[in-house]
Structure 1
């Protein structure tokens, strides 16, 4: 087993707390939960609504994966956190599903929470594996 690599990636969203964008060990990549922040200007307000926030969150995850030379096809597991679970679950699922082929969707857990950083409606993290 090799030692972990702690990745801070140019072009990825600025961390909202003290963490790495991803930690990698032996081909396993743990991608920190991303919020719908603007990766190019952290001062821009979050998008309105769960659909826009889910798209922005997935786009931020794509940036992190791309910075590691990976893509959504390498994602094996996801966790989704929603602040308004009953209200936003179906709409978030519709957006989330559009990022993965129907026959290659990661294992997933979706959790209702009382709050997220920056007042986000959604946060998503991934576990990926290098080929």
Structure 2
């Protein structure tokens, strides 16, 4: 059986339930869905652009704790509270990734008081 290694960092919000920020299994890193909470201030930005930037920064920090970068990301799943935010979200998203871009699924979801949540899978 392949061993799971928990990934933790204070540079991203801690779990609010029975789950890990990230798990590494072999060369693969799974990052739990991240919301836009700033772990230093405990605040959530207002706009979709600011929230997307904070979410991706949280993900980046968890990946760094695992010894990975955004370039290692192969799969992204993003939830938007309303698909009307897609273009604004996408304009920030593309600042965090380079070609070849990871595969991605973006869906409209009912989110509680936030505009975006994203989880990723990375291969180191």
Q: TM-score, normalised by structure 1?
A: 0.88
- Greater Cα shift, 55-64 or 16-25: 16-25
- Provide the rounded CA distance (Å) in 2 between the counterparts of 1:109 and 1:80: 6
Are 1:82 and 1:89, in contact at CA under 8 Å, matched by a contact in 2?
Answer: yes
- CA deviations over 1:17-75 (Å, ceiling 9, x no partner): 22101111121111111111011233x2x101100100111111111111111110110
User: Matches of 1:9 and 1:41 in 2, distance apart?
Assistant: 15
**1:1-131 → structure 2 map (5 Å cutoff):** 1-42=1-42, 44=43, 46-85=44-83, 87-101=84-98, 103-116=99-112, 119-130=113-124
Residue 10 of structure 1 aligns to a residue in which SS?
coil
Moved runs in structure 1, 4+ residues, more than 4 A? none
RMSD over equivalenced CA pairs, Å: 1.3
What are structure 1's unaligned runs of at least 5 residues? none
Which consecutive unaligned segments of at least 5 residues does structure 2 have?
none
Q: How many residues align?
A: 124
TM-score (norm 2): 0.92
